[in-house]
């Protein structure tokens, strides 16, 4: 049985024993990195610099929400605005693994710049067990290089510390709840952000489309769950596909983009079942997406694949 209190005490003790100089903690605002930041703050708060990178690949209003949440935890926070750099590095890249590697490397470069500013020796990360297992840890095949594992460049100088390395998502959430962290109830969001939900050309315009679509899916499913029409899925979002199809706007031919809606039930993200969503809710999502991003998206589809054989994200 997982003992939350014992885990936190051990993690704090171990960090105190290891972190003898300044450390940077990379925080994305997700459950994993926020829990790691909170534990590190308890252990070595005086040596800790929390860095949040706004990659331009975050969800709607996310940067402001994350900043507020991290301030609440009490960490010493620096936000780095790096959207332009990320888009430039990702221009023309469509192959998912290459995308992940580039993003991983960009993150490290940003952290190294911050490291120089504060003279840090360590980089703390919120890596959890499925991240390194699915990135090819041990004897397994690489399913996806999680940017905080398989995407790390070889020439980096920071020493990596991963206090949550052996935990699964449900355990991280337990730790988050124990530490009263608001983000422990948030749905998971991948480290590479909307980049892995924007298949095909990664441009600011296309990312904006998927950002709006994700926002609509979140609002509609949360409203439907609050009204008792369905259970709130474990994870729910939209992805923009690299497929165009013929549609009609008014009486004019349109050749538009395709959004896929994804919602799954899962315990730890290692396996998942697609969530049944009432058709009236799907209809509303489809109407809102096609109206909001008029002309750009003219088709919305629903993904009914479990994991396996699919994965939760499309890339
Ligand atoms: P997949 O798509 O592999 O995702 O079935 C399983 C869970 O992990 C999230 N995910 C990531 N989380 N870094 C992360 O921290 C990543 O690179 C990454 N890729 C996927 C995904 O959203 C799902 O919750």
Contact (Cβ atoms closer than 8 angstroms) between residue 213 and residue 240: yes
Using the atom order of ligand 1, give the atom closest to the CA of residue 144: 3
Phi and psi angles of residue 156, each rounded to the nearest 5 degrees, phi first = -75, 150
How does pLDDT run across 38-78, given as a tens digit for each residue?
Answer: 999 999 999 999 999 999 999 999 999 999 999 999 999 99
Q: Name the residue of 27, 59, 144 to mutate for ligand 1: max ligand atoms within 8 A of Cβ.
A: 144
Which residues sit opposite 262 in a β-bridge? 237
What does the buried/exposed string (b/e) look like for 181-209 if buried means 16 or more CB atoms within 10 Å of the residue's CB? Answer: bebbebbbbbbbbbbbbbbeebeeebbbb
* Pocket lining: 190 vs ligand 1, CB cutoff 6 Å: yes
How much is the pLDDT for 222?
A: 97
State the closest ligand 1 atom to the C-alpha of 30, by its place in the atom list counted from 1: 15
pLDDT per position as a tens digit, 117-127: 999 999 999 99
The residue among 103 and 151 whose pLDDT is bigger is 103
Q: How far is the CA of 275 from the centre of ligand 1 (A)?
A: 17
Q: Is 146 in the pocket of ligand 1 (CB under 6 A)?
A: yes
User: Which of the listed residues 106, 190, 199 should we mutate to test ligand 1's pocket, taking the one with most ligand atoms within 8 A of CB?
Assistant: 190
Beta pairing partners, 265: 273
List the one residue out of 42, 35, 51 whose CA is nearest residue 19.
42
Nearest Cα residue to atom 19 of ligand 1 = 190
Beta strands in the chain (DSSP E): 23-26, 48-54, 77-81, 122-124, 159-161, 235-249, 252-266, 272-274, 297-302
Under the banding of pLDDT at 50, 70 and 90, the label for residue 158 is: confident
Q: Decide: 179 and 25 in contact? Cβ < 8 Å.
A: no
Per-residue pLDDT tens over the stretch 220-269: 999 999 999 999 999 999 999 999 999 998 888 999 999 999 999 999 89
Amino acid 294: pLDDT? 66
């Amino acid at each position: 049985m997982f003992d939350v209190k014992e885990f936190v005490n051990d993690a704090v003790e171990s960090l105190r024993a290891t972190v003898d100089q300044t450390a940077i903690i990379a925080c994305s605002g997700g459950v994993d990195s926020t829990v790691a930041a909170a534990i590190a703050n308890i252990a070595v708060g005086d040596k800790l610099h929390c860095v949040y990178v706004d990659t331009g690949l975050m969800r709607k209003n996310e940067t402001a929400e994350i900043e507020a949440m991290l301030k609440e935890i009490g960490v010493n926070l620096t936000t780095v605005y790096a959207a332009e750099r990320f888009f430039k590095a990702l221009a023309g890249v469509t192959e998912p693994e290459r995308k992940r590697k580039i993003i991983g490397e960009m993150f490290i470069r940003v952290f190294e710049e911050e490291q120089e500013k504060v003279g840090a020796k360590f980089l703390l990360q919120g890596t959890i067990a499925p991240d390194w297992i699915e990135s090819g840890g041990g004897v397994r095949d690489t399913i996806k290089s999680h940017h905080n594992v398989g995407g790390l460049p070889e020439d980096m100088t920071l020493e990596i510390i991963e206090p949550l390395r052996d935990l699964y998502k449900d355990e991280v959430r337990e730790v988050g709840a124990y530490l009263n962290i608001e983000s422990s109830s948030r749905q998971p969001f991948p480290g590479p952000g909307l980049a892995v939900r924007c298949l095909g050309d990664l441009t600011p315009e296309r990312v904006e489309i998927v950002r709006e679509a994700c926002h609509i899916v979140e609002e509609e499913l949360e409203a439907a769950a609050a009204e008792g029409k369905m259970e709130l899925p474990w994870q729910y979002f939209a992805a923009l596909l690299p497929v165009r199809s013929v549609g009609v706007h008014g009486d004019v031919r349109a050749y538009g983009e395709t959004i896929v809606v994804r919602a799954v039930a899962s315990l730890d993200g290692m396996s998942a079942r697609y969530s049944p969503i009432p058709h009236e809710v799907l209809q509303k999502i489809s109407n809102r997406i096609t109206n909001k991003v008029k002309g750009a998206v003219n088709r919305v589809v629903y993904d009914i694949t479990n994991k396996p054989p699919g994965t939760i994200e499309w890339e």
